[in-house]
Chains A and B, each alone.
Chain A
Amino acid sequence: MYRYIWLVPLLPLIGAAINGLLGRRFSFSEKLIGGIAVGSVALSFLISIAAVYSYGFSNQSIWPNTYVTSQFKYNWIPGGAVRITQGSKERISAAAIQEAERQRAALPPEERSKPVSVLTSDSEAPRSSILNVEWSYQLDPLSSIFMLIVTGVGLCIFVFATGYMHGDSGFYRFFAYMGLFMFMMLVLVMGSNFLMMFVGWEGVGLCSYLLIGYYFDRQEAADASRKAFITNRIGDFGFALAVFAVIATFGTSQYTDVITQAKSYPIEIIGHWGIMSWIALGLFIGACGKSAQLPLHVWLPDAMAGPTPVSALIHAATMVTAGLYMVTRTNVIFQHSQTMMLVVALVGAATAIFAATIGITQNDIKKVLAYSTVSQLGFMFMACGVGAFVIGIFHVMTHAFFKALMFLGAGSVIHGLHHEQDLRRMGGLKKYMPYTYWTFLAGWLAICGIIPFSGFWSKDEILWSAASTNYVPVGWLVWLVGTIAATGTAFYMTRLVAMTFWGKEKFRETHEHTPGHESHTADHSTPKHHAHIPQESPKSMWIPLVALAVLATIGGFVGVGPAWKFITRTEHPGKRMNIVNFMDPIIWNPSTREFGKGGEGSKQEAVGSGQEAGGRAISSPEAASAEARSGGAENPAPYGKTGFNLAHAAAGKLGSETATEWLFIIISLLAAGIGIGLGWLFYVKDTRLPDLWAARLRPLYEASYNKYRVDEFYGWAITRRTMDAARAVFAFDSKVVDGAVNGSAWLTRLSSRISGGFDKYVVDGIVNTIAAFVIRLMSPLIRAAQTGLAPNYALVMVIGLVVAVAMFFASDIVKAVKAIFAIAF
C-alpha cells in the first residue's frame, strides 16, 4: 500500500484545481465545493493511514528502511556536473575521526573543548558529481508522522471550515487555496530531496500569504499577508543558501545520499565553525522564519488576520512546524555542530519565554493563541537543540492536536459571538456553547500539561531532556527557562478559558460595533446579530472539535516516557507504536556515529545492569569515559564534557535516575498547577487582581502588552531605514543618474548647436564663396557661347566636321601639302 503514497499529495491538488478553476465559472454550490475539498483530503488521509500501516506495522513492513517511490519518479531537474568544492577537506575517514577523538581524550580536561585537527592522507581533492534531482516521495518514520498530522488534522479543519466559512462569497477560493496548501505541505514533508522541500517550503509560504490575505479588502489583512511573506523571505534566503551549500558539499540533494555522506564528517564542537555549522546555520535561519522563532517571529501574530481555520491549519498545526520537520530531517547535520545545537536550544528557550510573557496580556483571543503557538514552537526547538529530536516531533504532534483544537474552539466562539474576538467582551459562554466549552477544556488541560492529557507527555519529556542533556553546555538554563515558560503558559491559558467561558456574561454590554475582524456578509443579515446572544455552532463545526479533543486527550500515550517503566515494564512501551521507538532509526547518534540506537543497543540492554538498563549503545571507547556516565545519564556525552548538568547533579544527590525523573515530573506538574492556580486566582476568584498587579508592575505590563515593542523596533530599525535607503537611492537616481542622463542630453544639444552653426556659417560659407566666385568668373564665357542662333550652332557643327575630316585625312593632307611644295619650289 505504501507504493501509492504519491496519491496523497496529488488528491488535494486535484480537488483544489477543480474548485479553483471551475468553482466560480460553474458557480458550484457550497455543498459541492466542500464535498470535493473534504473528500479529497479524507481520501488522502485514508491512503496515508494505509500507507503508514503497511510501511511500519504490517507483515510486509520495511520499517527502519526508507522507502522512496520509484514507479512515479522522474528526473525533475536533469542535472549537470557539480564540482564539489566545499567540504572536501573536512571529509575525513572514520579512522581519522577516531584518531582525533583519541588525541582529544589524551588532552588535559580543561583543553578538551578545543578542536583537534588531524591531517590524513586520504583527504580527497575536489570531486565532481552529476546532480540529478528527481521528483519522488519518501516514506520514512518522520514523513509518516507528518503525513498523518497534516492529513488528519487537516481533515478535521476542512470539515470545520465548511461550517465556519458558510455564506462567504469566496467559498470556492478559500477551499482552492486550502487544497493547494495541503498539496504543498505534503510535498514539503514527503519529498525525497532538499529541492522538493524547498518547493513545498515556498509553496506553503505562498498559500499562507494568500490565506492571510483572504479578506484582501481589509487593510489589516493585506498588511499582515505582506508582512508574513516578507519575513519568510528572510528565512528562505538562509534556507536557499543552505541548500546550495548542501549541493556544493555533497553533490546531491537526495536526503538518503546526503545523510549517509554527512555521517562520516567530523563533529564540530563549540568554537569550531566548519561546513556543517554553516549549513546548519542556514537551515536554522530558514526554520526561524517559517516557525516564527525569535528574531523572525513577528509575522505569526499578525497572521491571525486570516480566517480562523487557516490560523488553525497553517499557523498552528502544520506549516509553522515545517521548521521542526526540516531540523529533524537534517538532524545529522545539526548534530555535527554543537554550536548550532546550542543556538537552536537557546533560541527555542528564548522564544518560549518571550512569547509566553506576551501572551499573558493580550486581549484578542486569536492573538493569545498565536503567541502561545510561538511559545510552543520554542519548546519544540528547545527539544531539538538539546538533542531530543524525537521529543520535538512528538510535541509537534500533540501541539497539532491541542492547538488546532483550541484555534477551532476559538473560531467556534468567534462564530457564535458574530465575530467578536476581544476577550473582554466574552465570558460565561459555558452555558451557551457546551460542546465548544468541553472540548476547549481538553485543549486547555493538554497545553497546561496536566497528567493524562497529551501535552503533558511531550512537554515533560522536553523539560527532562533539557535538564539531562549532554549535547549542549547550559541545559539547566534551558530547563529553567522552559519551566518558567510552562508556568506562564498555564497562567495565560487559564486566563483565556476564564475570560471566555467562565465569569460574567460581558457580551450583553453594549458597545459600538467595530467593523469586524472577520466579517461575513451572510451572518450580518440575521436579526440576532445585534442582540449578541451566543449560540452553539453547527454540527459540522463541533464534530471536528470532538475528534480533536479525543486526540488531544489520548494522543500523548504514544510517547510515554522512560519514567513510567515501573508501570509499563519497559522504557518506551508499545514497541513501534511508541513514537520514540518508531522515529529512532532516523536520528543520528553522535556517540555511535550510526542512526538510531543500533542493533548492539538491544544487546547492551540485555546485559545492562539495574539502573542503567536501556542505556544506549556504547561502541566507541572514548565515549565510555567515566564522566559521560556520571549521574546515570541515558546518553554518553557525544561532544565531551558540557559543564554543569542539572539532572546528573540531582541524580547524584538522589542516587537514582528514576527518582530524578520523578522529581522533574513533579516539578513540571507543579509548574502547571501554579500557573493554573494563579490564573484561577486572578481571573475567577478575585477579578480585581489583574488590574491591581498591572498597575503595580506597570513597566513590565506595558512591555508585555506592547509585545516588547519589537514591531516598533523593526519598523524603526528596518522598515524606516529601508525606506530611508530607498529614498536616498531614489534621490540619487533622480538627481545623479537622471541628472547625468539629462546632462548628457543637454550636452548633446549644445554640441549639435555648435557643430550646426559651424556647418551652416563656416563650411557652407566657404563652399558658397568659392562656388559663387568660380561661377561668376566663368559664366560670361559660357553664356557668350550660347547665342541661341541656329546658324552659329550650324557653324560649330561644320567646323567640327571639317576638323574631323582633317584629322581623318591628316596624313594625306600632309602628303598633299608636301607634294604641292615640292612641285612649287
Chain B
Amino acid sequence: MTNLFTPALLFLLQESGGGRLTLAWDKVQHPDLSKFLVIGALLFIIGVAGVLTRRNIIVIFMSVELILNAANLNFIAFSRYLQDTGNPNALAGQVFTVFIIVVAAAEAAIGLGIVIALYRNKETIWMDEIDLLKW
C-alpha cells in the first residue's frame, strides 16, 4: 500500500503545501526517535503504576498489556530508526513485536482463565483479598 501510493502522496503534498507540507510529511516519514521513546516510557510507567496500584485483576491485566505495548512501541521505533540509518537487521524489531503480540494474546487467554477459576473459588477478583501465594 505504502509502496503504491507513496509517490502520488509525495507529489500531492509538494504541490499543495508549497514545500512546508513536504517537510512535514518528511518529518512524518522520518519521525524523531526520542518522541517515541518518551511515549514508550510514559506508557510503561502508566502500566507499572496500574499494576502496582489497582486492586482489580482485570485492570492489572490491562496495565500489563500497556507495559507490553510500551515495549512494542520501543521495538518499532528502533526498527524504524535503524531502517533509516540503513542497518540491514532493522526488521528484527518488527518480528519481535509480532511475537510479543502473540504471546500477550496467549497470556491474556490463560490469565483470564485463571481469573475465572479464581472467581469461582474465592468469589472475588480484588487482589488485596487474594493472598494465596503466602502459603
Listed in ascending order, the chain A residues whose CB lies under 8 Å from chain B are 786-791, 793-795, 798
Residues in B with CB closer than 8 Å to A794 are 51-52
Let me know if B102 is at the binding interface, CB within 8 A: no
Residues in B with CB closer than 8 Å to A790 are 127, 130, 133
Given A789-B133, A791-B128, 15 other A-B residues pairs in contact with their CB atoms under 8 A: A786-B134, A788-B130, A788-B132, A788-B134, A789-B127, A789-B128, A789-B130, A789-B134, A790-B127, A790-B130, A791-B52, A791-B53, A791-B60, A795-B52, A798-B48
Main secondary structure of the interface of A (DSSP, over half): helix
- Complex-state Cα separation, A787 to B132, whole angstroms: 9
Min CB gap A804→B, angstroms:
14
Residues in A with CB closer than 8 Å to B127 are 789-791
Residues in A with CB closer than 8 Å to B133 are 788-790, 793
Identify A798's interface contact among B52, B132, B134, CB under 8 A: B52
Let me know if B15 is at the binding interface, CB within 8 A: no
Residues in B with CB closer than 8 Å to A786 are 134
Min CB gap A800→B, angstroms:
12
Residues in A with CB closer than 8 Å to B123 are none
Let me know if B5 is at the binding interface, CB within 8 A: no
- Complex-state Cα separation, A798 to B60, whole angstroms: 15
Contact, CB under 8 Å: B52 / A788: no
Enumerate 15 A-B pairs (CB-CB under 8 Å) in ascending A order: A786-B134, A787-B131, A787-B134, A788-B132, A788-B134, A789-B127, A789-B130, A789-B133, A791-B51, A791-B52, A791-B53, A791-B60, A791-B127, A794-B52, A798-B48
- 1/0 contact trace for B9-24 toward A, CB 8 Å? 0000000000000000
Across the interface, name the chain A residue whose C-beta is closest to B55: A791
Residues in A with CB closer than 8 Å to B131 are 787-789
Across the interface, name the chain B residue whose C-beta is closest to A795: B52
Residues in A with CB closer than 8 Å to B135 are 788
- Complex-state Cα separation, A105 to B48, whole angstroms: 137
Residues in A with CB closer than 8 Å to B53 are 791
Residues in A with CB closer than 8 Å to B128 are 789, 791
Across the interface, name the chain B residue whose C-beta is closest to A793: B133
Across the interface, name the chain A residue whose C-beta is closest to B133: A788
- 1/0 contact trace for B93-135 toward A, CB 8 Å? 0000000000000000000000000000000000110111111
Across the interface, name the chain A residue whose C-beta is closest to B51: A794
Min CB gap B45→A, angstroms:
10
Nearest 7 pairs between A and B by C-beta?
A: A788-B134, A788-B131, A788-B133, A789-B131, A794-B51, A786-B134, A795-B52
Across the interface, name the chain A residue whose C-beta is closest to B134: A788
- Complex-state Cα separation, A793 to B132, whole angstroms: 13
Across the interface, name the chain B residue whose C-beta is closest to A801: B48
Residues in A with CB closer than 8 Å to B60 are 791
Residues in B with CB closer than 8 Å to A791 are 51-53, 60, 127-128
Residues in A with CB closer than 8 Å to B48 are 798
Across the interface, name the chain A residue whose C-beta is closest to B53: A791
Which residues from 22 to 59 on chain B have a C-beta closer than 8 Å to any C-beta of chain A?
48, 51-53
